[in-house]
Structures are given as C-alpha cells and as structure tokens.
Amino acid sequence: MFKTLGIAALALALAPFASMAADGGKVNPSGEKLYKSSCVACHSTGAANAPKLGNKKAWEPIIARGMDEMMAVAINGRGAMPARGGTKADDAALRAAVEYMVSRVR
Amino acid sequence: MKVFRLCMAATALASVLAGGTALADPVDKLEHVKVELVAPPLVHAHEQATKAAPRVIQFRMVIEEKKVVIDEENGTTLQAMTFNGSMPGPTMVVHEGDYVELTLVNPDTNALEHNIDFHAATGALGGASLTIVKPGEEAVLRFKADRSGVFIYHCAPEGMVPWHVVSGMSGTIMVLPRDGLKDAAGNALHYDRAYTIGEFDLYIPKDEDGNYKEYDTALESYGDTVEVMRGLIPTHVVFNGKVGALTGDGAMTAKVGESVLFIHASANRDTRPHLIGGHGDWVWETGKFANAPEKDLETWFIRGGSAGAAFYTFKQPGVYAYVNHNLIEAFELGAAGHVKVDGKWNDDLMKQVAAPRPVTAK
C-alpha cells in the first residue's frame, strides 16, 4: 500500500529529522506516554502487521517517506491501524508518539 | 514472544491449506438453516434429541466495541469488546455432525481488527486465522461440529489475544449429541430450560488516588490494563458483563420440578460454580458430553479456557444463589447470580423445627 505513495516524499523526509537530531535530542515526553498507553498494543508485538518498535528494517522505509506521511497515517489510519491509533489524542501528542517510535530506531 | 513466532508459522500454513475451496462441496448440498441468536443468559430455541440429518446451521454475529458500566453502584466502566453487544457472546446450539457456518461482521464503527477461535473446531487456530476482519469487513467460516459438548469461542487476534478475551470477547457453542444428553447409566436427561453464564475476570486500572480510571477509547485503556493483567489479580469477577447482572430483574427463573441446564464458561481463568441450596445432579465439569457426567456435586470446576454444564432438577422454591465458590470472588468481586424458583416447599427435604429464638434452658 505504501508503494503507491510518496517516493517524492522521500527527499522531503530527511529535512525534519535532520533538524530534530540537531536539537540535541529534544523529546516531547507525551510521545512515550501515548505510545505506552495505546500504540504499544500493536507496535510492541507487531500485531496486525504493525511495524514493531525498535525494528530498524521495518521502520527505515517508513521513516524515509517523511513525517508528513507518517502523520497522515497516524491521523487517518491505514489498514488495520485505526485513525489516531484508536485514541482521542491531538495532533501534537500523535506527532510526539511518532517521534518517539522513530527515535527508537535511530 | 517465541510462542508468537510459532503461532505465526501455524497461521501461514493454515492459510495455505484452506486455499482450495472452489470445487463443488458435498456440504453445500445439505439443508441450510439460519438461526437467530438471543442474548444471554437465554439460549435460542433448539431440539435436544433430534431425528434430523446433519445440517449446516448458519449464524451471524456482529462485533461491537463499547464502553460498558461493570459496577452500577460505583459507576466503574470497561472499554469492552463484544460479540453481538453482550458479555458473554450468545450461545450457539447445534448437534454433533452438523456444520456451523458463522458470518462474523466487524462494522466500520469499530476501531480494531478481530477474529474468532472456536474450541469446538479443528484447524487454523480454531478458525482464527481464517476470520481476521478489519472494521468494515466480514468473513464466513464453516466447520464441522464433530465433538459433542460445550465449548468456548473467543477472539484471538495475534499479538493481543488476552486483552480481547478479558475485555469481553468470548461465548459458548453447545454441540448436543444427536440423541440428547444421558446420565452415567445411559438414561435420557431432558432439560426444560437452559441458561448460559459467562464469567469474566476484569482488570480495571486505578489512578494515583485509587479510583478506577475511565478511558475515551479501548486503545487508550490498553497500556494500563496490561499492567493490571500482569499482576494476575482481577479487580472484578462478574457473570454476564457486570456486578449483579443475574440478580433482581436479571435473575434466572425456574419452577419446582423443572430441570435446568446451567452452561458456565470462563475463557481465561478457573472458576468453581456452586448452587447455594442445590446441587449439580449431573455435571460435565469439563463440558464434553461423550464422557459420563458426575452425580450429586456440591461445587464443580471450570478450567480457564473451557465451558462446563450442570443439570439440576429443582426440588424447593425460593431464591437460590449461583456463585463462584471462592466466596471473595463471588461476594466481593462480583461472581454471583440468583435463580428465583416458584413452587411448593418440601418439608421432608428440609424443615425449620424451631425458628430462631432465645436459647432455652436444658
């Protein structure tokens, strides 16, 4: 499903993460909190084919598509993943959770 | 985690084996019967002994995720997942040799993927790997009910099986022998009514102040709930979805002289049913009717992950309590219900010789 989307996004992708790293690892703690309350349900075990936390091979192509694409999935859902990961979290918290998951494969 | 890898291999194999179903199938030619399910503790109308030839019995269940109140006195809620909106899911009844054909519907109003594992079925993780449905999908599974007994069915999505089960996704299928139930000597046992009781061990998280937490969605409850589950101490143990579900207006009823079959299912955790003031006349505590039932039981034992059945003919009127006889689980945590029985009192079986009175001198 990912194949139909964003090769173009690939180039864009690298910029935000470069800047994130340059911040000296500024991490929003609400990301880990949201991950551990909800996202963990699928992303810790790979349930329903979710990319597992810390699995570099699974995450590299996803990260390569960029934050906008990852946020689109986080907000709207895709496949077995429900919209907003099945939570009522706001965009900022979702973004922080995505950043947390990304940080674990870096 | 290693166990999960093993499961995945089995799933893949099962999927391959289930592939070739396009050819004409003799089962398609059997009589097909649609059965409407009813909410527990009732069981849909069915024959016991039957002269019918094996048939394909068609059921439809709709999965419903919803927040439910599990303790009305305190307003405690559970982000529940259910088959057909009830805990337990409805009981299905067929006869040995019939085929069960279930349409499992996961409406797009749900958030999660689900499936179903029938302990009565053979292969493909009980059907679980052939019934994985995302919100907005449905699947149809057929299996041969070739073993008699009461059997659990439950949701079993890979990677999050226990959570879906303890959140409410289990029920019972009863496969009756074609000539009905028999006692240990082979005499026919006919019940006048059947009740189905699903016992649920619940794991509701608390906040720092010790109050039960409430969540907006099922997934938001996941992380905290798993922490409580890992402690292996349930916060509530309930029959049919909430504390007191089978009391008051929800009580089971019977009459003196009537025989009742109590089907008791517990998908996750052991329990020990007991009818206060009564007995199990004939009990299949492991739930499988090809084995001789035991007689005169005070308390029986349902293994976590199984269903059992107890046959009892009421001899006295009154309100009976039907409980899990770990009495803390019954009266503190919720695993208790009532049976209201009408009829005439039998002084021979029990008589109050003297009502409570001051102690008399000898």
DSSP A52-106: PTT-HHHHHHHHHT-HHHHHHHHHH-BTTBPGGGGS---HHHHHHHHHHHHHTT-
Q: What percent of chain A has pLDDT over 90?
A: 64
Dump pLDDT digits (tens) for A42-69. 999 888 889 999 999 999 999 999 999 9
Check residue A18 and give its pLDDT.
40
The answer to whether B222 contacts chain A (CB < 8 Å) is yes
Check residue A26 and give its pLDDT.
64
What do you get for the CA distance between the two ends of chain B, in Å? 71
CB contact under 8 A, A48 and B159: yes
Structure tokens, B182? 């028999």
Whole-number Å distance between alpha carbons of B120 and B285: 16
Check residue B361 and give its pLDDT.
80
B155 is catalytic: yes
Q: Nearest C-alpha of chain A: how many angstroms from B4?
A: 9
What do you get for the CA distance between the two ends of chain A, in Å? 24
Check residue A28 and give its pLDDT.
82
Does the CA dihedral B62-B63-B66-B71 come out positive or negative?
positive
Which member of B95, B264, B274, B338 is catalytic? B274
Compare CB distances from A45 to B112, B134, B160 and report the shortest one's residue. B160
CB contact under 8 A, A79 and B224: no
Check residue B111 and give its pLDDT.
96
Q: Nearest C-alpha of chain B: how many angstroms from A88?
A: 7
- Residue A106 pLDDT grade (very low, low, confident, very high; cuts 50, 70, 90): confident
> Using CB atoms within 10 A of its CB, is residue A104 exposed (0-12), middle (13-18) or buried (19+)?
middle
Whole-number Å distance between alpha carbons of B252 and B1: 43
Mean pLDDT over the full length of chain B: 94
The answer to whether B164 contacts chain A (CB < 8 Å) is no
- Residue A25 pLDDT grade (very low, low, confident, very high; cuts 50, 70, 90): low
- Residue A7 pLDDT grade (very low, low, confident, very high; cuts 50, 70, 90): very low
Check residue B33 and give its pLDDT.
98
Structure tokens, A33? 């909190």
Check residue B362 and give its pLDDT.
74
Whole-number Å distance between alpha carbons of B188 and B129: 38
Given a cut of 50, whether residue A9 has pLDDT beyond it is: no
Residue A46: its chain B contacts at CB < 8 A? 159
Q: Nearest C-alpha of chain A: how many angstroms from B203?
A: 15
**Is ipTM strictly over 0.90?**
no
Dump pLDDT digits (tens) for B2-33. 444 444 445 545 445 555 556 678 999 999 99
Check residue A64 and give its pLDDT.
95
Whole-number Å distance between alpha carbons of B261 and B180: 13
Contact assessment for residue B280 and residue B314, using Cβ atoms and an 8 Å cutoff: no
Dump pLDDT digits (tens) for B192-246. 999 999 999 999 999 999 999 999 999 999 999 999 999 999 999 999 999 999 9
Cα pseudo-dihedral B107, B269, B77, B75, rounded to 10: 140
Compare CB distances from B219 to A38, A45, A48 and report the shortest one's residue. A38
Whole-number Å distance between alpha carbons of B210 and B177: 50
The answer to whether B181 contacts chain A (CB < 8 Å) is no
| pLDDT less than 50: residues of chain B | 1-9, 12, 14-15
Check residue B22 and give its pLDDT.
60
